[in-house]
Each structure stands twice: as C-alpha cells, then as structure tokens.
Structure 1
Amino acid sequence: MKPTVGLTGGIGSGKTTIANLFANYFSIPIYIADVQAKNLIANNSHLREEIKLLLGERAFVNNVYNTSFVSNIVFSNKQVLDKLNAIIHPYVQEDFLQWKNMQKSPYIIKEAAILFESGSYRDCDYIIMVTAPLEERIKRVIIRDKIDREMVEKRIKNQWSEEKKIKLSTFVIENKEIDKNLDKIKEVHFKIMKMIDENVGN
C-alpha cells in the first residue's frame, strides 16, 4: 500500500498552494478533501438526506447546498459542527480510498483542513503542517470567502491550535515567499522518498 501523506494547516494558511507545488514539481497526486466533500454533498442523495435530518430543509435551496446558512449554524455551535463532520467524514474517507487505489505514484497527498479534528491523521504515514502568521491568514480568508473578521475568528476557534498540530506532524512548512516554499517542498519530498525507501528495505 502506497504511503499517505496528510497535509493540513489552519484556515488561510495556504494548504492548497503548497499541495499544488508538490503536484506541479513532483507529479504527486493530491486529494483535496474539502473540494471532494462539496462534490459529494452536491451529488450523493444519501449524504444530502443525512445533512437535512441534522440541519433541516434550509440546508439546501433549490437543491444547492446553502453554505451561508450552514456556516452560520455550525460555526456558532461546535456540537452541531462535530455532528456535521461526523456525517460527512465517512463518505469522504470511502471516496478517498477508492481514489487512492487508482494512483500509481510513490506516495499520495491528502489535503484536509480538519485532518486532525476528524481523526484522519491516524491513517496517514506522514503529516505536513502548513503554517502562516495569524493576521495574514485572517486577511486571506476575508478576501477569499468574502466574510467578516468575526466569522473568520469563529472558524479558527473551532480548529485545533497550530501548536497542537505541529507536535503531531512529521514536517512543518512555513508558507512564506515562493522561493523559500520551493526549497522546503523539495527538502520534504526527498525526505519522504528516503523514508519510503528505508521502510521498503526493512
């Protein structure tokens, strides 16, 4: 079984940017859990019904996931957020395993915002944690998601702290200038390849 490298980081840290560099420079397949979760919600009728049972019919408007409605509920109530994640996670995990079995690369990357919070990190052979200064993260999310600072801070509070995640990570990449990112990604890639070779030899 090819190794799974989990890639995570706080909201706005630039996880996808870093993941795409692995894909572009080393042809490593990337599974972006948040994107696939949205695809599953849009296309899996069983998952949609489970979400409606938890959040009500207003979770969908004209069969489209009502993101603003759902966000307002879950980021103000951690219990509901945990229940929603518990509903979605098994569908994402099944989809991920099917995708992984089709890949031919020496390792694959699973990029997930809640890799630790969902417990998915336990299924990873190595973990990359992406960090960035808090204020920079907040600015990125305000621009990207068109939400106010208060909502961003609520989302951050619902994630594990960077310190807690770093302790459980194999590698840490501080998302800075592109040149420094590339140097670090090359270093991490070759270390992963070396560890894979060493494990095969044992």
Structure 2
Amino acid sequence: MSSKYGLLVLNSKNVQKLKQLLTSAAAALSSKLYVRLNPDEPRTDELVSKIYLTSASSCPKLDVRLVVSEIRGNPENYVLIGEEKLLENAEKLAAAKKYKKVVLGGTFDRLHNGHKVLLNKAAELASDVIVVGVTDKDMIIKKSLFEMIEPVEFRIKKVVDFVEDISGTAKCLAEPIIDPFGPSTRIKDLEAIVVSRETIKGADAVNKKRNEQGMSQLDVIIVELVEGSDEILKETKISSSSRRREDLGHLLRPARAVPRETGAPYIIGLAGGIASGKSHIGKYLRETHNFDVIDCDKLAHTCYERGSSLNRKIGEHFGGDVVVDGVVDRRKLGTIVFSDKVKLRELSELVWPEVKEKAMEIVKKSTAKVVVIEAAALIEAGWHKTLAETWTVFVPADEAVRRVVARDNLTEDQAKDRMSSQISNKERLDNSNVALCSLWAYEETHAQVDRAVEELMKRIL
C-alpha cells in the first residue's frame, strides 16, 4: 500500500541518482513528494529545472514540490525516499532572500512542472510576498483549447496552495488579471518580476509603464522553461496546452448516477455545434464500436409529419395559419422564428420534448450495450441533466466558421450569424463529462474517441 506524502533530501552525492530516487518515489507514494536540498548541494536554476523535468517523466502522477524553506509539520511523518536525512538547522544555513516582494503572471492551467519552476524561483527570491496575476477572459481566448482551461478561482487556489507550501513565511497574493499588467503596475513597492525567456517583452512593457507612472523599475528575473514535446500542437516545452490536449477523450468530471435496469443500454449524449465534427464521430462510434447512434437532427424531421402532435402545438402557439391541413408551413414559420431569438427558443421548447420522447422509444428497443443520443442542442434542451454522460465535440470558433463557409457556400458573416444562435463551446464543455476535438487529422480524432470508449467500457462493465 502506497503512502500519501514523501520527503526526498538531496545532497551532493545522491543527486546523481535523482532519476532512480524519483522512480522509487513513484512506487511508494500516492500524492505529494517534497524535495529538500541539504546545504552541501547548491540551489541553481539548472538543478531546479532538472528536478522538475526528471520528475515529469519518472513520477508524473506525483505532485512534486521543491521546498525553499522548512518542511511543514514534522519531517518524521513523511516517508523518506532514499537514505539521506534532513540536516538539523538546514533552514538557518539557507541563503537570505534577495527581495521582499516579487511578481509574476501566467495562466497556470493544470498546474504543471513548468509552472513550478517559475513559482519556485519567485519563492526563492521573496521573503514577504509573492504576487501572482492569473490570466482570465480576453487574456486566455487565443490559447489552444482555451475552452478547457480550468476556472480562474480554481487556478488561483492551486497557485496559492503551492507557493505557500514551499515558500516558508512568504505569503502568496494571487488575483485574476484581464490585461497584460495586472498588479505589476499597481503595486508600487514590488522589486522584481519573474518571467520566462519567451515573455521578456512583457516584463519590458511592465517596466515601461511603471516608469510612466513614476514607479521604480523591477529587476527582471529570467527562468528557462522546462523542456517537453507535443507533436500535435508543435510545442517543445511542457505546457498547459499539451495537458489540455492530453485530457481529450478522458473523463473530465464524474458520470451521473442515473438508474438503469438490468440489461438496459447505457445512454450517453453526444453534443456539438455547427461543423464541430459531431456527425463524423457519431458515425465512427456506430461503425467502429457498434454503438447505436440516434441522430436527433434527422429524428426531428419525423416529428413534423402530417397531423402530428408537434404540428398541433405549433399551430396553437404561433397561430393557425402556420399549420395548413395538419402540415406546418415552414416558410411562414421561418419568417416568425428566424428573426426573433425569443420565438426561436419557444419553437425549440416545443420540438425538444417530442424529439426526446421518440429517442427514448428507440432506446427501449435497442439491444446495444451503449446508445448515443446525438443532438446539436442536447445541452440547450437540458437533456444532459438526465443522462449518465455527455460527450461534447468542438473545434475553435474560427475553424467552425471556415468549415461552414466551405461546406455551405456562405459568406463569413453569414456563417457567424448562423453560429450566433448557439451556446459557446465553453458552455457545452462546462456541462460535459468528456471533450473531443476534431481540429486535427482523423487519426487523432479517432484516437480520442477510442480512448473515451475504452475508459467508458471499464466504467460500465
């Protein structure tokens, strides 16, 4: 049985066995590994990066934390990794911190070892306060798969927890920022700013603005990013974008506990906006994984058959002249709803229950292990609340526009107008259990789906 927390003390001798020690930690621990340097092993930027880079591959599931000051609590309560013990009074021998207050910024999504290198540097330098700006809103929308970025409140909590856990007495003041400057040009007594080599220009812009405001210039501390690779996103550093891509096809939030009779199929919803690739994935699930897939867009057309209950309800709601001889006059109905979003919503609320009723009738007759209800407006209709899982397919908005223009021979403005009636990718993903992105080659999309199916079958068998 693995223990939750561990302590690895490095000195000038055992640091040569870093990979071996971290591999041992991966086998012995289930949560966090604290790393402490004894005074005979100097703290250098190269060593800090090496510790986090090696841990990314040797113990990727552990939350590794290189402490700057004392270990919280009694070190004897931690599982010791290796034979080296923490020297007494080691904290007193540590170098004095250079600044009182430092600042840094970032998105800090899915807090990873690259972030930890930056935050470690700030904790190493600041004795009193570490100010962190956490980007949000317009500052994140250009990032790859930004729709999957964790809520800013969650990211702030993770940053504060990490920094105050490793920094000793220094406090972490973190806040959301919606511009490139945030607290860096508001707090006068800051002394230094920590940046990566890729964001030096941002530090220069901060100092320029501080100078214009009559504030002191900040020392610029440059930290090299931890190396990594992502062939799909074409990135060479450990990044949150890669972490988000790796989460595609995995369960992002637990499935709902929906009652299911013995032998009845497991039902999942498949949602997605215009040109998201939803239909392609539905077809792939049917042909490759033998799922029954109910196309609700096609099913909706059958609800408009002559004399149907839906037609009667439409006539009652929008006026008798919209329905002639039991058939909806689509042109007349269109003139009413397509220029008025409120009316369009009213029509949808008439259609959705009818479609769902027909879909559930099909489900009852299915002999498949899994039935997929494929519906563009599944989340808008609230169906996801009654399903065990919802899988959402998405592409960035600009890619969806490009696809609609090419597929439907529309102008860009026409495509954007058509998409404006939909909820956003972010709203869909916030209500989904699994995210799938069809932005890249079919092989990559299929790999995500295969991963999702593999995990699904383990959950339901």
Q: TM-score band, normalised by the shorter chain? A: 0.7 to 0.9
* 2:441 aligned partner: 177
Contact 1:42/1:65 (8 A) holds in 2: no
CA distance in 2, matches of 1:102, 1:139: 39
| Structure 1 residues 5-154: aligned runs within 5 Å | 5-43=268-306, 45-56=308-319, 57-58=321-322, 63=327, 66=330, 70-71=333-334, 73-145=336-408, 147-154=410-417
AA of the residue aligned to 1:13 = S
CA distance in 2, matches of 1:131, 1:86: 24
CA distance in 1, matches of 2:436, 2:389: 13
CA distance in 2, matches of 1:11, 1:61: 33
Larger-Rg structure: 2
CA distance in 1, matches of 2:391, 2:415: 23
Which one of 410, 419, 436 corresponds to residue 156 of structure 1? 419
Residue deviations 1:44-77 (CA, integer Å, cap 9, x gap): 52211222334453577994752x6545543432
Tell me, what secondary structure is at the counterpart of 2:309?
helix
C-alpha RMSD over aligned residues: 2.5
More helix by share: 1
The answer to which of 129-138 and 96-105 deviates more is 129-138
AA of the residue aligned to 1:17 = H
Tell me, what secondary structure is at the counterpart of 1:84?
helix
**Identity score, percent:** 23
Cα distance change of structure 1 residues 148 and 65 upon mapping to structure 2, 3 Å threshold: farther
Gaps of 5+ in 2: 1-259
CA distance in 1, matches of 2:267, 2:421: 25
Cα distance change of structure 1 residues 61 and 70 upon mapping to structure 2, 3 Å threshold: farther
Cα distance change of structure 1 residues 27 and 54 upon mapping to structure 2, 3 Å threshold: same
CA distance in 2, matches of 1:178, 1:115: 24
CA distance in 2, matches of 1:63, 1:94: 20
CA distance in 2, matches of 1:32, 1:162: 20
Contact 1:128/1:170 (8 A) holds in 2: yes
Please report the TM-score for the alignment, with normalisation by the length of structure 1: 0.85
**CA apart distance, 1:169:** 1.1
Question: How many pairs align?
Answer: 196
Contact 1:31/1:111 (8 A) holds in 2: yes
Gaps of 5+ in 1: 198-202
**CA apart distance, 1:164:** 1.6
CA distance in 1, matches of 2:360, 2:429: 25
CA distance in 1, matches of 2:305, 2:429: 33
AA of the residue aligned to 2:448 = K
The answer to which of 188-197 and 139-148 deviates more is 139-148
* 1:200 aligned partner: none
AA of the residue aligned to 1:8 = A
Tell me, what secondary structure is at the counterpart of 1:6?
strand
Residue deviations 1:7-39 (CA, integer Å, cap 9, x gap): 111111111111100001011000111110012
The answer to which of 4-13 and 55-64 deviates more is 55-64
Higher relative contact order (CA 8 A, sep 6+): 1
Tell me, what secondary structure is at the counterpart of 1:169?
coil
CA distance in 2, matches of 1:146, 1:53: 36
CA distance in 2, matches of 1:190, 1:77: 43
